[in-house]
Amino acid sequence: MSYLSKKYILIFIGAVIQGFSMGVFLFPNAIPTGGAAGITVLLNYWIHVPLSLTLWILNSSVLLFAYQYLGGGYVVGTLFGITVTSVSIDVFGKFLDTPFSNVWIDMFVGSIFFGIGITCLLRQGVSNGGIGVIAYIISRYRHIDPGKPMFWINGFIFVITAYVIDWQIVIQAILCQWISSKIINWLYNLSVEVKAPSLAWRKK
């Protein structure tokens, strides 16, 4: 199997895990995982646009806009991941229900799976698109840390989402970001060393 085939298989797995977390645990409770997800939840709440379709349009539009900054390989891989994630959200959302009856447990479990899925994507040199791409472009032009524009953009969208739907969403969205970030930081830097078994016979 070629390196490119392995890369896209791992992107597929990460995108499916991400879609599972959003379709089963987070989106049914209107918990946004970022700025693009917050807009997705809002549009679904206001005009009942399908979550998967809205998320794909938002993420792919931002990604194509940033083509000249990020390069073709990054864009193609990320667009593939975005597409698989959107389809997974739709499939899991229709055929699977959360086994829990508590929104906070859903948020916790969903955040863990979300972090695992994002890590799979990042380790293959792609992302899940969204506001992070805009923040990256702003940081390059303004010469600032991309975390700052990302924080303010996501925060603004979270506040609007909470105002329209429920103020509890702000706390849940922040916790979701914190838990998933911890998972990403841990797994992204995790290295597993596999040692081949020794075939040498012990001397007697």
Cα–chain center distance at 174: 14
pLDDT tens digit string along 149-175?
767 777 788 888 888 888 888 889 889
Please check whether residue 202 lies inside any domain of the structure.
no
Confidence of residue 72 (pLDDT cuts 50, 70, 90): confident
Query: What is the Cα–Cα distance from 153 to 68, expressed in whole angstroms?
Result: 22
Please check whether residue 48 lies inside any domain of the structure.
yes
Q: How many domains does one find in the chain?
A: 1
Q: Is the pLDDT of residue 42 over 80?
A: yes
pLDDT tens digit string along 48-60?
888 888 888 888 8
- pLDDT at 89 (0 to 100): 93
Looking up tokens 């539009």, which residue turns up? 61
Per mean pLDDT, which range of 96-100, 120-124, 132-136, 152-156 is the poorest?
Answer: 132-136
- pLDDT at 99 (0 to 100): 92
- pLDDT at 145 (0 to 100): 60
Greatest distance between any 2 Cα atoms in the chain: 78
Domain of residue 21, residue span:
3-188
Query: What is the Cα–Cα distance from 130 to 55, expressed in whole angstroms?
Result: 9
- pLDDT at 196 (0 to 100): 43
